[in-house]
Amino acid sequence: MKLCLGFESTAHTIGVSVVSFDGVVLSNERKLFTTSSGGLIPVKVAEHHCSHVFDLVSSSLSKAGVSISDISLIAFSQSPGIGHCLRIGAIAARSLAALHGLPLVGVNHCIAHLEIGRLLGKKVSSDGFSSDVSCSDPILLYASGANTQVIGFEGGKYRVFGETLDIGIGNFLDSFARSLDLGFPGGPKVEVLARKGSSLIDLPYSVKGMDVSFAGLVTKLSQLAVKGCSHEDLCFSAQEYVFAMIIEVAERALAHTGKSELVLGGGVACNKRLQEMAFKMCEDRGASCFIVDNEFNVDNAAMIAWTGILQFSAGDSLSLVNSGILPYVRTDDIEVSWR
Ligand code: AMP
Ligand code: MG
């Protein structure tokens, strides 16, 4: 059985995973940088990743029941992300590839979210999940910390049909949570408070063509919090507004491309209210909604390993000199050899 060792380190998460070439995830280890107050400082996050990366390699190999000599391929997240963080995963991956004479593949993180959705997405139905239906050519609603994009495969590339014009939806939730002193990551804490909220507060709804904007909302919500609005109602309303905005754009991407599958990806896709709204939208238009388990929604190395396998099987690989990180490369810059 051929195996890939994958590394993820685009932002707050350092992850190492072993995936087989036939798509079985044998291990998926990760450590998340967290704070009880304040946000991400890139140098601090890089130190965190540095101090965990080799323990994660050991635990990932041992959970998979294999050793480094069983590995046939190394994949790492090469783009896009925070330079300080990307560099740690890249150094570990490049060092192991050089030391063990293994081929190396660089993966685009956003595309990896879509590819893991195609591999592991479970179709949602009104009474749970139907496991026998697989996801083949979806629109990805990628809702994560730094990224918010609606992506689909058209004309030989992964195209961005809509995206945030400023901050990612997760960064929006985290900044808003920080203004309420909830710490990082804030999205899950906002979700818990939102369940206790009930009255919908009027907020700006910013969909511009196929794009969305969140930055002004942080200011508006902080002002309302200072004025004494209930935190529960603010969390409830914030979720209703921003999730409606991204679902609207995802729906228009489905309509425009004629595709009939939606898959959710990114840490914010763990949110039950977003999942519910996505399912409802798909149900209303006769499309299928796919969701992956939370460990594959958040940043994870299994999706990097799997996309690395797809790329390598189609002939992609990197020489060490060409394997530098590419923090600013966009989804639609990537040449797709494997579809
Ligand atoms: P990622 O960058 O894809 O790993 O996602 C991290 C982001 O997901 C952070 O901004 C988190 O606050 C957010 N997040 C994680 N879980 C949830 C949740 N249940 N609801 C909303 N946001 C979440
Ligand atoms: Mg991500």
If one counts every other C-beta atom within 10 angstroms of the C-beta of residue 34, the result is: 11
Residue ranges of domains in the chain? 3-114+298-333, 122-291
From 268, 277, 292, 296, the mutation candidate for ligand 1 (largest count of ligand atoms within 8 A of CB) is 268
Question: Residue 234 is which amino acid?
Answer: L
Residue 158 CA to ligand 1 center (angstroms) comes to 23
> Hey, is 232 helix, strand or coil?
helix
Q: Is the pTM of this model over 0.85?
A: yes
Is there an atom of ligand 1 within 6 Å of 15 CB? Answer: no
Query: According to the model, what pLDDT value does residue 12 have?
Result: 93
Query: According to the model, what pLDDT value does residue 126 have?
Result: 84
Tell me which residues of the chain have a pLDDT lower than 50.
Answer: none
Q: What is the pLDDT of residues 234-284, one digit of tens each?
A: 999 999 999 999 999 999 999 999 999 999 999 999 999 999 999 999 999
> Hey, is 5 helix, strand or coil?
strand
The fold for domain 3-114+298-333 equals: Nucleotidyltransferase; domain 5 (3.30.420)
Ligand 1: atom nearest CA of 297 is 3
C-alpha–C-alpha distance, residues 117 and 140, integer Å: 8
Structure tokens that stand for 283 in this block: 């149900």
C-alpha–C-alpha distance, residues 121 and 126, integer Å: 16
Is there an atom of ligand 1 within 6 Å of 173 CB? Answer: yes
Is there an atom of ligand 1 within 6 Å of 299 CB? Answer: yes
Whose atoms come closest to the Cα of 107: which ligand?
2
Structure tokens that stand for 274 in this block: 């977003």
C-alpha–C-alpha distance, residues 6 and 97, integer Å: 11
Q: Which CATH superfamily is domain 122-291 in?
A: ATPase, nucleotide binding domain (3.30.420.40)
